[in-house]
């Protein structure tokens, strides 16, 4: 990373942010976090598992003069790859060809990723620097999810500076349509099994009644 910080969380907790924390009473709590090592800076098993299930995230960049831009990125589960303990990567698909993200990164590499898991009301925040790699077709192909119908244009590498999680407060619980469909299919299958069992019991009862009547 181009910047050096006393603590990993300093990537977000600038002097101005810390001044507001002090004024509003939360600085002591975050200072305690800093003294215990700050935020995590490498991919651990929990983050790797979380990203392996992600099919969507938001990528934030800013121009040289600070104009922010947030772009959605999506794909099948596992489209975000962990290359090593500090590097994430994904294939960048052809879209509306505005290239705002790429333009921003060409003059300001600082970037931020927000990954939401609405079903389990979890979110992960990742700070770092990103670069677009548009001259390595082999890398781009290696990052493409197998069988996914999209046109890859380039690759984006994301170098992690720090990452943190949030509490579930205020996260609405939502479910992917595919997951809902799967759950409904399981339920319908179970209902069909129970109906078949009930029908069999009714038939057995009817045979017993006929036998007794005879």
Quote the pLDDT of residue 214: 65
Quote the pLDDT of residue 206: 87
Q: Nearest-CA neighbor of 51 among 68, 32, 34, 73?
A: 73
170 within some domain: no
Residues 64 and 151 in one domain: yes
Residues 80 and 46 in one domain: yes
Quote the pLDDT of residue 96: 86
130 within some domain: yes
Quote the pLDDT of residue 1: 47
Q: Nearest-CA neighbor of 105 among 94, 115, 113, 96?
A: 113
Residues 46 and 120 in one domain: yes
Give the global pTM: 0.83
Residues 108 and 69 in one domain: yes
Residues 114 and 147 in one domain: yes
Residues 79 and 90 in one domain: yes
- Domain residue limits at 193: 175-214
Structural domain count, the chain = 3
Ordered mean pLDDT values, 10 residues apiece, the chain (214 residues): 78 96 96 91 97 96 97 95 98 92 97 94 96 96 94 96 90 86 91 93 88 77
Quote the pLDDT of residue 28: 96
Quote the pLDDT of residue 143: 97
11 within some domain: yes
Q: Are 90 and 75 in contact (CB under 8 A)?
A: yes
Residues 45 and 32 in one domain: no
């Amino acid at each position: 990373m181009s910047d050096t910080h006393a603590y990993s969380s300093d990537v977000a907790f600038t002097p101005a942010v810390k001044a507001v924390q002090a004024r509003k009473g939360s600085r002591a709590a975050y200072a305690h976090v800093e003294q215990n090592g700050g935020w995590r800076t490498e991919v651990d098993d929990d983050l790797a598992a979380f990203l392996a299930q992600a099919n969507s995230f938001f990528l934030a960049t800013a121009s040289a003069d600070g104009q922010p831009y947030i772009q959605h990125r999506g794909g099948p589960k596992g489209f975000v790859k962990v290359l090593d303990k500090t590097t994430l990567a994904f294939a960048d698909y052809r879209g509306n060809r505005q290239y705002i993200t790429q333009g921003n990164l060409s003059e300001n590499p600082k970037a931020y990723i927000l990954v939401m898991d609405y079903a389990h009301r979890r979110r992960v925040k990742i700070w770092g620097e990103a670069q677009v790699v548009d001259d390595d077709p082999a890398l781009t192909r290696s990052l493409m999810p197998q069988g996914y119908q999209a046109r890859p244009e380039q690759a984006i590498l994301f170098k992690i500076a720090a990452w943190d999680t949030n509490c579930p407060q205020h996260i609405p619980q939502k479910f992917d349509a595919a997951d809902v469909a799967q759950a409904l299919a399981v339920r319908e299958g179970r209902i069909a099994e129970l109906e078949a069992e009930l029908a069999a019991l009714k038939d057995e009862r009817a045979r017993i009644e006929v036998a007794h009547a005879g």
